[in-house]
Structures are given as C-alpha cells and as structure tokens.
Amino acid sequence: MSDSMTSGPDRQTARRSGLARAGLLFCLVFVASCSTKEVIVVGNFPPPLMEPLPVTLGVWYEPDFLGHEFFDEAKGRAESSWIVKTGDAQVQMWSQLLNNMFTRITKMDGKPAPDQMNPIVDAVLIPRVDELQYAIPAHTNVKVYEIWMRYAFELVTTNGEPIAEWTMTAYGKTPTAFLQSDEAAVNLAAVVALRDAGAHFITSFQKVPAVAAWLEELQQQRAAVASR
C-alpha cells in the first residue's frame, strides 16, 4: 500500500470532515441568501379632539409592551425575514391618546399589587399586544402591506384587583404602493394600525359593560362626597 493512500478509518474521518465542511458552506450560502429586514416603527399620531373624561388614570406598560416586536422568519431562500419593532411607537401613541382622553394620567413605576406603593389614582390601565399579523403583497413590485393587531386591556385598582378586562382589534393597510421600500410600506401600515387602535379605544372604552359600571359608581361616589 502506498504511503499516499488513506487507511479505512482515516478515510471515513476525512469523508465526515468533508461532509461537515460542505454542510457548513451550504448553511452560510443559505443564510447569506436570506436577508433580514428590520422596521422600527416611527410615525405621527395626532391628539384626539374630545372632552377629557373626569378620571385620574394610572398606566402600567409591561416590559413586553415597551419592547414589543414581531419576528417572521423567512420560509425560503428567495424570501426575507422580518423584524417589526412597535414598542416605542406603541408607547408614543397610547401616552398621547390617554393624556388627551382623561383628566390626568400617571405612569406607574410598578405593576399594581397589594404590596406596591402607588400614587392615588382612580384605576390603572394595563395594555398588551396579544397578537400581530401581517400580509405581504403577492408581487414584490406592489408595496401594499396589511397589519392586524389584537390588544388585551386590564383595568385594575391600585391593589391589582380587577375592574374590567376586554379585547380590541386594530387594522392598518399601506394606503399607496408608490413607496421607496418595503420597510417604508410596513412602517406606514403599522402607523395606520396604531391610529386605528386609538380611534377604536376612544369609541369603545365607555361601551365595555364593566367599565361603564365602574364609571357610574365613580360618579356616584364623588356625588356622595360632594353632598356631605
């Protein structure tokens, strides 16, 4: 046997090493071909024109809400993965909306609980994004995207006792296909969805049965105090 030939075990080791290198190369090529598009949602949210409700409301934004993002992994080499970050825009929109919808808003430093030191407020609102979905255009040259979100809300006392719980949906669609990039189209769809969420919250808040009952009770309590 020539010294240049590989023995049986060594040949198997070399073969496995070659396969490993080939697999690594394939993975690198696949990853390189699948790009990731990131969108940090930024937009303008006009304040609502309405008479504020006579309520001092606390608001608690949970960490998942503050840093809310949506990730969709590419299904094939010709597609792109998406990361859509809505956290900052969510806080911007909801803070502005609530500040104009209620007499006074207080941002809570901690989640309402019996052992938590909280400022004096009438109740605390806790918003969450339960689900986010988006639809991409059928053809890449048509940059019209759709975004659908489902929110869940809790209204609780400063001790964390439940007052009301309800859900609400919001929808946004890119109003034009004539944008410079897919990222701009997704951003605009998200902004439209957030504006839609604000409009729905304004019109539906007092229609939630448990919220309506709480507002009536709050009004009666204030009337009783004023009559003393």
Q: What is the pLDDT of residues 9-61, one digit of tens each?
A: 455 554 555 544 444 433 333 333 358 889 999 999 998 889 999 999 999 99
More confident residue, 6 or 112: 112
Cβ neighbours of 127 (radius 10 Å): 20
Confidence bin at 4 (pLDDT 50/70/90): very low
Compute the chain's Rg from CA coordinates: 26
In tens, the pLDDT along 115-139 reads: 776 678 999 999 999 999 888 775 4
The residue-averaged pLDDT of 97-111 equals: 94
Cβ neighbours of 178 (radius 10 Å): 10
User: Which ranges constitute the DSSP H helices of the chain?
Assistant: 8-33, 63-66, 87-101, 182-204, 209-226
pLDDT of 108: 92
pLDDT of 27: 37
In tens, the pLDDT along 136-172 reads: 775 456 678 899 999 999 999 989 999 999 999 999 9
pLDDT of 145: 86
What residues does each domain of the chain span?
Answer: 37-226
| Three-class secondary structure of residue 65 per DSSP | helix
Enumerate residues 6+ apart whose C-beta is below 8 A from 121.
56, 57, 58, 106, 158
Alpha-carbon span 122 to 219, nearest angstrom: 11
Alpha-carbon span 175 to 192, nearest angstrom: 9
In tens, the pLDDT along 50-93 reads: 999 999 999 999 999 999 998 887 777 767 788 999 999 999 99
pLDDT of 187: 92
Alpha-carbon span 162 to 158, nearest angstrom: 10
Query: What CATH fold (topology level) applies to the domain 37-226?
Result: Rossmann fold (3.40.50)
Structure tokens at 104: 């006074």
pLDDT of 211: 98
Q: What does each C-alpha distance from 41 to 24, 62, 67, 218 come to in angstroms?
A: 35, 19, 12, 37
Global pTM value: 0.79
Enumerate residues 6+ apart whose C-beta is below 8 A from 40.
85, 88
Confidence bin at 223 (pLDDT 50/70/90): confident
In tens, the pLDDT along 167-205 reads: 999 999 987 767 778 888 889 999 999 999 999 999 999
From the list 214, 101, 115, 120, the residue with the least C-alpha distance to 162 is 214
3-state SS of 4-34 is CCCCHHHHHHHHHHHHHHHHHHHHHHHHHHC
